[in-house]
Each structure stands twice: as structure tokens, then as C-alpha cells.
Structure 1
């Protein structure tokens, strides 16, 4: 079973040389720490940063340099800063190759709910709806179940949707799954996790074909 860092490390394997990548709040922000050193990647944040680096070491933070989640970040040589209108022009113009988001629920059809729980105070949806409407490749980083042990991979989302039919792949603490027209297709299982455990933790339709390999790092 993976922790949050393990999820981020596995998703980092999906980042290719030359990609422009947007990282959502939560687990996705950790991905920048684990991208291979031998590839060139530009991380974009919707608050107006292009060229984000890993998180700063303790004591080296600059409170004026933050991501969309208000976390302090580092920047790489050649990084640029701009207004949010320019940032969203990049997103809406489909200039981002990969978007990595957290989620509260994902449906077997690739719908995502990640911005609101009814009855709870929220600050707003941020840029999530623009990202899911414009991105060609969306990977979700999330825990497979909620704190009560109920599945977050569902036949249909119960929470207000952020986007419809937009998720391509999901990496959880238990597995890597891909959205197919017939449901969640199981691609890999986390170290020490059995296929039966993944089946029990998945409420939506799960497609299991052949031997499922364990994730490699």
C-alpha cells in the first residue's frame, strides 16, 4: 500500500520530457519533487507561475513565491510570473500537456468531483473546472477509500461534479487504473496489495484482465 509520497512517485513516472504540467492542490503538488532529473518539464500554477521546482527546504522558504494552494515553492532557472488572465489563457488554450488533480470521488465514466461537499464551507472551486474542461490528459491522485472506508471510485459520483468524462487515469494508494468505456481497468497494484483487496475497495465496475503487475519504482 502506498502513502501520499508513493502516489506522487508513481504519477511522476507519467510525466514525459517536454511536458507542460499543472499540479492541483494536495498530493499532486508532491509530484514535482520526484520527476526524473534527465528530463525537462515545466510546471504551471494557475495563480501565475511557470517553471515551478520542488518544495523548498525548511528555512529557505520565500513567502512571496507560492502555488495556487498558497504553499511556498521554488522556481527553476527561466521561470516566469504573470497575471491569472494569462495563466488561464494557457489552460483554456490547451497548452498544458498533463493535469494532475486530487479528487473526492471519480466515477467509472471518468467524471470527477473535487471541489465541494454539500453543507461544508468551501473557499471556491479555484481553477479546477477550467482545467478539466481544457486538459487533454488528466490523472487523478487520491486515496482509494475515504476515512470511513467507503470507496471513492464509484459507479456514479454522489458529490457535485467538477467535470464530466474527463479523467484518463487514477493512481491511488492501492492501484493504478485507467478509464475505459466499460469501467475502471486495473493496470497495476501497489506493493503488498492483492487484486481481491482492490476489488473490495472499488464500488464502480472494475475490469481485471490477466495477471496484474505490482508497481515498480
Structure 2
């Protein structure tokens, strides 16, 4: 039986509801509070700019309305300057490339270190750590298109439809990013070469 791999992205609805106020979740309150940031999106024929703004607000909450796997450093969704389509840029923590793990000769007994971990979370080496040994932290940069099919249309103006549309846009983007990146995260977590 095939077990599902790790999730790359998910929406934390329970936390959002539990920590909201006045009958609103945290994210809905943030959308209402920062409604002016959507001003350039009203009535757009394409949902991209609205969805990108919704994603940015969701990821700027602390903790985020949209959560991501411990290997993901950052994730942005934006309109492509080329044609206005939806694209993403995601930075992910990786293992060293195979070329550097095949042999340790290049290390020359300098004590090279990988990403530090604290309670299972990847961290940045402290200033003190860097004075003691060199660190090589591999990062993968993913840039890819995302489908627009299920994104909600951009609202016509600042009304009651904005928060539900923003929530729907973030949900769709999280699903698409998860579908794109979860297999890669699973492979990185497994730490072994994939079968041919």
C-alpha cells in the first residue's frame, strides 16, 4: 500500500479560527485590515494579481495562514512580468549535491557543516558557529507556472466578497504548490536516489 508523502503546503484553518476575533478568523481580519493592498486588483479580468496579493497576506501572518514544510524557506506567488500568468518562486533546503558527497577530499579536514537543525527544524548557523567551522547550506530555487483554472475571479471592489475570495485563492494556490512540490520534498526527506 502506497503511503502519501509529506505535505509541502497546507492551510491552518483550526489555528486561524481559534485565534481570530469578532467572529472572524485571523486571515479574514487581516484581509479586511489591509483591504487597500487589493486596490489595484479590483475588476481584473484575470485573477492572478488578486490571488498573488491574497497569498502574500496569508504568508505574512505570523504564524502564517498558509503553512509549509520545514524544508521550505520562502514561497511567493506572483504575476509573470512576461505574460501575466501565475508563477511561483520557492526556496527549499536541500542536501549537498551528490558530487560533493561522493568523496570528502574537497573538505580538506576543515570540518564543513551542513544546515544546522534544532528540534528537527532547519536553522541558520549562528555567528559563533560560523567562526568555528565553514558551512555549506544547499538551497534549491524552484520557479514554475501555476494553473489559473480554479482561482476565483477578482472582486469588483472592497466588499464582503473579498475575504472569501482571498481565502479560496490561497487554498487553490496551496493545493497547486503542494501538488508541484510534495513529491520533491518526499524525495529530499527520503535521502536516497529515486528508482530509475
Q: Shorter-chain TM-score: what band?
A: under 0.3
- Larger Rg belongs to: 2
**Which of the pair is proportionally richer in helix?**
2
TM-score by length of structure 2 reads 0.24
Please report the TM-score for the alignment, with normalisation by the length of structure 1: 0.22
User: Does 1 or 2 have the higher relative contact order (CA < 8 Å, sep 6+)?
Assistant: 2
Larger proportion of strand: 1
